[in-house]
Homo-oligomer: A and B are copies of this chain.
Amino acid sequence: MSLLVMRIGIIGSGDVGRALGRGLVGRGHDVKIGSRSPHSEKLKNWVKETGGKTSTGTFAEASAHGELIILATLGQATMEAIDHSGPKNLEGKIVVDVTNPLDFSKGPAPGLFVGLTDSLGEMVQRKVPRAKVVKCFNTVPNSRMVDPKLPEGGAEMLICGNDSEAKRRVVAVLNELGWTGAIDIGGIESSRWLEALVPLWARVGMALGTWDHVFRVVRPS
């Protein structure tokens, strides 16, 4: 896998998948975005706008295409999307898990449907044990995933996962996308706490009237 040009498969064509795809195509990567409706007008426009090596396909086609996979589905749809992708297409690959197990059943301020003794990151890792799942990007809005431009300087992503080499590769991708680096909080079970940040992020957004805010770790000066 070259860090210069990679084949990347994105599972999910919502705002998150399209934003990350646009950023990665812009860095020269060969991106296939997987969707239930790969020929939709929305995706045709996205291919036209992004230019570069951009294509669309089914979940299975995107997964087969990618050396690196980005999982960018709605939380509730994630397990089924992996079924459609064909778990074999993910084995041995880095799977960047951007999903959040948000539960909107109680109103606009979300909870989590996994509780605190499991996480969607762990569910993905259990479903495809031979994939190298790295939880990443799930704590920031799609508007900040590429070129985050945080006014105070450095931008560090919170990540976790079981495979150190996979995390190192993901940090290289983060660097390409304008992030200073990452804070690695451990194995994939730490996804519980990265995912639990998102209902707080949503409540802060409701309080401030913005969806473009981020949590930044300020170290002691």
**Which residues of A are in contact with B by a Cβ distance under 8 Å?**
109, 111-112, 115-117, 149-152, 158, 183-186, 190, 192-194, 196-197, 199-200, 203-204, 206-208, 210, 212-221
Residue of B whose beta carbon sits closest to that of A196: B196
Q: CA separation between A151 and B184, bound complex, in Å? A: 23
| Contact status of A203 and B217, CB under 8 A, knowing A115-B116, A196-B196 | no
| Contact status of A204 and B221, CB under 8 A, knowing A112-B116, A116-B112, A152-B152 | no
Is there an interface contact between A215 and B217, defined as CB atoms closer than 8 Å? Answer: yes
| Contact status of A185 and B210, CB under 8 A, knowing A111-B116, A216-B215 | no
Note all chain B residues with C-beta closer than 8 A to A186.
109, 203, 206-207
Distance from A174 Cβ to chain B, minimum over Cβ atoms (Å): 15
Residue of B whose beta carbon sits closest to that of A110: B193
Note all chain B residues with C-beta closer than 8 A to A192.
111, 199
Contact of A220 among B116, B152, B210 (CB under 8 A): B210
